[in-house]
Amino acid sequence: MNLHGEKTPKTRPGKQVRPQGGRMHGPMGMGGPVEKAKDFKGTMRRLLSYLKPFRVGLTVVLLSAILSVVFSITGPKIMGRGTNILFDGVMSRVVSRQVEEAFGGTVPAWLDKDTLLLMLDALGSEELAAMTAAGEVDPAAVSAAILARGDERLAPIAASIAQMPAADVRTLLLSFSSGDAARISDMLSGMDIVIGGGVDYARIGRILGLLVGIYLLSAFFGWFQIWVMAGITQKTVYALRKHVDEKLDRLPIRTFDSMPRGDLLSRVTNDIDNIQQTLSQSITQVMTALLTVVGVMAMMLSISPLLALVSLVTLPLAGVVAMQIAKRSQKQFAIQWESTGDLNGHIEEMFTGHAIVQAYGKQEEAVQRFDAHNARLFSSSFKAQFISGVVMPVMHFFNNLNYVVICVVGGIRIAQGTISFGDLQAFIQYARQFTQPIAQTAGIFNMIQSTAASAERVFELLDEKEETPDAGMVPEGPVAGDVRFEQVSFRYEPDIPLIEDMNLAVEPGRSVAIVGPTGAGKTTLVNLLMRFYEIQEGTIRVDGTDIREMPREALRQPIGMVLQDTWLFKGTIRDNIAYGRENATEEDIREAARAAYVDHFVRTLPDGYDTILEDEGSNLSQGQRQLLTIARAFLAQPRILILDEATSSVDTRTEAIVQRAMARLMEGRTSFVIAHRLSTIQNADTILVMDHGRVVEQGRHQELLDRGGFYSRLYQSQFTRAQDEEVAPPTPA
């Protein structure tokens, strides 16, 4: 696109590829085929280099993530402490009630936890069990047996039993058989019970308040790290977009011609958006997930190494099963992705050529093809969603299996007094938390793979070879329009010659028409003049100055272009015309419109010059759009004019109007006119006839016809064909 807002001439289109689209996702982050980078490490290293200016901010993010995770994983442990207080208080009441019943409705003052455990050990001894089994129980003998254990702390117990009735002593011994007493003693040894006490609700309230504060701090630091990371991400992506935009300004037209437009747009938009999403979400998620795994594992080991080992046993098994399911689902997602593309392509094709489909009666065939694509998409989508959907139930199964094993083993450990009830509750919470970040990290890894591929595509664009830097000074004074090609040679491909040893001299104010078959090099000639491409040999001069010694902006400023493909942006007609010259006045705009025969039809519109153009001027006819571009060129007042197939897409009547406008525009200007319709260039001062990159003939219209050469044959073929079409009889139905 030049300074006057016209598209650059079409040259050599590159191969079309399907632009990268959004990702289709299944459960656990599985989805469409993840495109992998060719150099994952190098690409990620380069992408992360964009974060180097934000080291301080990233450090804050890391510290916030650590604090958020620390507070988060501390919560279950503190909650377990509150559960212990509640459970111990309840058990204190139960034990106190049993002691009261055993000692006649009162709790002895000398009885505390340690004494109770000693009493349980003594009452559960084999000697006392044998006395109980014998039948009659002698309180004095039982008291003597307890004193025989040699622990002075048992003396109050022995004295109390010696004064109890024999029946009560026998009941007490039966309540604490050797097995029951040992198990109860082991269980109570791990509890903080108080004989005669109960639940400390005030302490539980303080713990709950502490727990709320901890979770609030965890949420705050989690929010804070996301807020800081969002700012870093936006600044990083802003810098990346700026680099891409600056790079696009430095790329030669060759790059744009060889790279499909959809692919280029995908790199600038979709790929950078993909990078932005990953930087804003994945980095914090990975940090949090890894810290959570490490922190939770540390807490699980601190509570019970045995339970930690048990909980880890099911993890590899669940991972293997999930990986097998993921492999199967990836195949189906790949088919789903391909089927979606085929279906979309078919729909686009059918709607674009809807009139043709109806004209040839192919509606039924189109519907059948749609049904086939749709059925394939249905089948692959069903299988992909079903197979990937199995992952969550399988993971839930292993999580529940892990839960059951932990509960069973943990219950045994509670009975043995080696772990508290609250610690078991905290451990179960940690076990639940442990699997989630692992699964989350697996999904994030797929996203990072896709991001690396996107970053690689963006970096490929940034690494494209730039156009040669501008050199020289801006020519002084106005441009006269003298253009000369001196022994110019050019090739798009090194081994395919196109223009060889061309010489051409165009004096100021003269018009030159360039004709020839498709691929002859007509548009290439204009591209070389505009320095859209650099010549390999020879020299092109404007007013005696080698264009390679002129800044590109200075070269292109006095050149105006009117192309076959009109370029109009969304805005008013006034704005579209004013695009040709900065700071143009209203009178300048209207004068250019009158010169281009635009003013009349614009004033017939309801909003006149304030009419809004939609979708590149789709609310105007092709001829009206072309006249607007000519008005824009009038306003620019170029000294050198390029008209490339400007009338090829309009009807005969509109062509006459456009030709009149172009004739006024060409007055006094050096003009290059590229045309296939030879009737439009008969009045040119010079006609260049090109074939295979060479000027095979040169002269005025009648002169070339009289020679009977290539131009004459080309001219006769056009008009003979037109006459044949006019006199040909209609084909019988």
Give the phi and the psi of residue 515 in degrees, each rounded to 5. -125, 165
Distance between start and end Cα atoms, the chain? 49
CATH code of residue 251 = 1.20.1560.10
Model confidence over 486-513: pLDDT tens digits? 988 888 888 887 888 888 888 898 888 8
CATH number of domain containing 661: 3.40.50.300
Residues 617 and 681 reside in one and the same domain: yes
Question: Residue 524 corresponds to which tokens in the numbers above?
Answer: 């290439």
Rounded Cα gap, residues 404 and 194, in angstroms: 31
Split at pLDDT 50, 70, 90, the class of 227 is: very high
Considering 173, 195, 217, which residue would you say is the last residue of a domain?
195
Determine, yes or no, domain membership for 389.
no
Residue 686 lies in a domain: yes
Tens of pLDDT, residue by residue over 156-204, are 777 777 777 777 777 777 666 555 666 777 777 767 777 777 788 888 8
Q: Are residues 76 and 160 in the same domain?
A: no
What integer pLDDT is reported at residue 94 of this predicted model? 78
CB atoms within 10 A of CB 237: 18
- Band (pLDDT 50/70/90 cuts) for residue 355 is confident
**Domain-located, residue 675:** yes
Which range, of 70-74, 440-444, 446-450, 571-575, averages the lowest pLDDT? 440-444
pLDDT in tens, 250-281: 888 778 877 777 778 878 888 888 888 888 88
- For the segment 101-110, the average pLDDT, to the nearest whole number, is 69
Ramachandran region, residue 516 (left: φ > 0; alpha: ψ -120 to 50; beta: rest): left
Instruction: Give yes or no: residues 289 and 432 share one domain.
Output: yes
Residue 368 in any domain: the answer is no
Roughly what angle, to the nearest 10 degrees, separates helices 391-415 and 305-352? 170
**Could you read off the pLDDT of 523-538 as tens digits, one per residue?**
888 888 888 888 889 9
Transcribe 541-594 into DSSP letters: EETTEEGGGS-HHHHHTTEEEEESS----SEEHHHHHHTTSTT--HHHHHHHHH
pLDDT value of position 625: 86
Phi and psi at 545, nearest 5°, equal -100, 130
Express as a percent the part of the chain with pLDDT over 90.
Answer: 11
Residue pair 49/351 in contact (Cβ under 8 Å)? The answer is: no
Q: What is the pLDDT of residue 278?
A: 83
Assess contact for 451 and 611: CB atoms under 8 A. Answer: no
pLDDT of residue 175: 64
List pLDDT tens digits, range 540-553: 999 888 888 888 88
Size of the chain, expressed as the number of residues it contains: 733
* Judgement on whether residues 128 and 255 belong to the same structural domain of the protein: no
| 648 or 92, higher pLDDT | 92
Same structural domain, 135 and 75: no
Average pLDDT of the chain, as a whole number: 80
Is residue 363 very low, low, confident or very high in pLDDT (cuts 50, 70, 90)?
confident
Per-residue pLDDT band at 22 (split at 50, 70, 90): very low
Residues 163 and 283 in one domain: no
If asked whether residues 183 and 282 sit together in one domain, one would say no
| Residue 255, beta-bridge partner list | none
pLDDT the model gives residue 243? 92
Q: Is 11 within 8 Å of 257 (Cβ atoms)?
A: yes
Domain containing 133 equals 108-195
C-alpha 721, offset from chain centre: 54
Tell me if 15 is assigned to some domain.
Answer: no
Say if residue 709 is in the same domain as residue 578.
yes
pLDDT at position 661 is 77
Q: Is the pLDDT of residue 20 over 80?
A: no
16: in domain: no
What are φ and ψ of residue 426, in 5° steps?
Answer: -60, -40
Q: Say if residue 606 is in the same domain as residue 591.
A: yes
CB 4 within 8 A of CB 636: yes
Q: For the chain, what is the domain count?
A: 3
Q: Per-residue pLDDT averaged across 455-460, rounded?
A: 88
Average pLDDT over residues 559-584: 86
Average pLDDT of the segment spanning 657-683: 80
544 and 634 in a single domain? The answer is yes
Report the percentage of the chain scoring pLDDT > 70. Answer: 85
Residue 582: count of CB within 10 angstroms of its CB: 8
Domain boundary among the residues 149, 177, 195 is at 195
**8, part of any domain:** no
pLDDT in tens, 386-405: 877 777 787 778 878 888 88
Residues 6+ apart with CB under 8 A from 7: 1, 563, 565, 567
pLDDT attached to residue 66 = 93
pLDDT of the residue at 728: 45
Based on the fold, state whether residues 540 and 665 are members of the same structural domain: yes
Instruction: Say yes or no to pLDDT of 8 above 70.
Output: no
Q: How many CA atoms lie within 13 A of 164 on its CB side?
A: 25
pLDDT at 4 over 50: no
pLDDT at position 571 over 70: yes
Domain identity same for 161 and 263: no
Long-range contacts of 367-375 (CB under 8 A, 24+ apart): 370/343, 370/346, 373/339, 373/342, 373/343, 373/346, 374/343
The average pLDDT across 10-24 equals 39
How do residues 113-172 score in pLDDT, each as one tens digit?
Answer: 777 777 777 776 767 777 766 667 777 887 787 777 777 777 877 777 777 777 777 777
Does any domain span residue 311? no
